[in-house]
Structure 1
Amino acid sequence: MAIKNITITQGFIIAGLMNLTVLIFSRFFTNPTIPEFDSVVMSNFGLLMIVLWGLAYISISKSYREVKWLVGVFVVGKFIYGYVWINWILNNNISAVYKKDTMAGIFYSLYGINDWIFFVFFLLVFIKIFKMPSSLSNA
């Protein structure tokens, strides 16, 4: 499956923008429900780090070929967040979150799906870059 360079650039930008939606769901870190239901990963600090990851995705959207190992780090990061989400979904009651705050419920319902989608995207990009001859991957 060949992915065009413009599609990859757009994918990095979309991945970053999706991470920035944390600002909406957390109401700019003022929504206490998100950290309440996962005080480790989704603390306000954790949410801020999600924003930072998003900015990192956007920052390499046009130079991803030059930082293939960073793309590999993104693959691992998305895998970890996706795995943590599955664990959370299996061990928590999502309806309790919705009962307290609809935005937090939507956030917990969707964030892992987003992470798995971009895990696959970053993995495909990483494989594509890794297979490129060195002169092309740095062009």
Structure 2
Amino acid sequence: MSPNLIKNGFILAGLSNIFGVLICSKLLTNDVMMNTQPGVMGFFGLISIVLWGFAYIAVSKSYVHVRWLVGVFVIEKLAYVIAWISFMQSQSLGAVYEQDFLAGVFYTIYGANDLTFMLFFAFVFLKRENG
């Protein structure tokens, strides 16, 4: 994977966090989204996801020098994948869609999105060129 592709992967990860949250949460006003999984996706949780997005973008040009921070990104994404699996096993996605379409979309895709970027960050973390 080329350095430019990796840089763009970090930017894409960041933008998906930032815009995914801001769009689906209707600029942090979507009570259905926040109340469906409040311990993870409450107001503070959504702000945190946006901040993680900015962190991914911030290291997009220097990821080689912050290998262990990229490792933290792997663990952070794993936590969200586990939270999503827990949600999918314990709640009704259909009920979320009935209350709010954008919240339903968010809960449909956030686990797959986080799994994808967790694998991307793991690949970057394990690359031999990292310092």
Q: Indicate whether the TM-score tops 0.5.
A: yes
1:50 aligned partner: 49
List aligned pairs for 1:128-139, cutoff 5 A. Answer: 128=127, 131-132=128-129, 137=130
The letter for the 1-side match of 2:66 is: V
Which among 4, 7, 14 is matched to residue 6 of structure 1? 4
1:108 aligned partner: 107
2:60 aligned partner: 61
Quote the Cα distance in structure 2 between the aligned partners of 1:31 and 1:117.
25
1:22 aligned partner: 21
SS of residue in 2 equivalent to 1:30: coil
Quote the Cα distance in structure 2 between the aligned partners of 1:41 and 1:83.
11
Taking only aligned residues, the RMSD between alpha carbons, in angstroms, comes to 0.8
Q: Any gaps of 5 or more consecutive residues in structure 2?
A: none
1:118 aligned partner: 117
Instruction: Return the index of the structure with the highest Cα Rg.
Output: 1
Poorly superposed stretches of 4+, deviation over 2 Å: none
Cα deviation, residue 36, structure 1: 1.1
List aligned pairs for 1:23-42, cutoff 5 A. Answer: 23-42=22-41
Paired residue total = 130
Aligned sequence identity (%) = 47
- TM-score, structure 2 length as denominator? 0.97
SS of residue in 2 equivalent to 1:28: coil
Which digits, 9 at most, give the CA deviation of each residue in 1:12-56, with x for residues without a partner? 000000001200100111110011111110001100000000000
- TM-score, structure 1 length as denominator? 0.91
Cα deviation, residue 87, structure 1: 1.1
Quote the Cα distance in structure 2 between the aligned partners of 1:40 and 1:87.
12
SS of residue in 2 equivalent to 1:41: helix
Quote the Cα distance in structure 2 between the aligned partners of 1:4 and 1:63.
14
Q: Any gaps of 5 or more consecutive residues in structure 1?
A: none
Cα deviation, residue 105, structure 1: 0.3
Cα deviation, residue 68, structure 1: 0.4
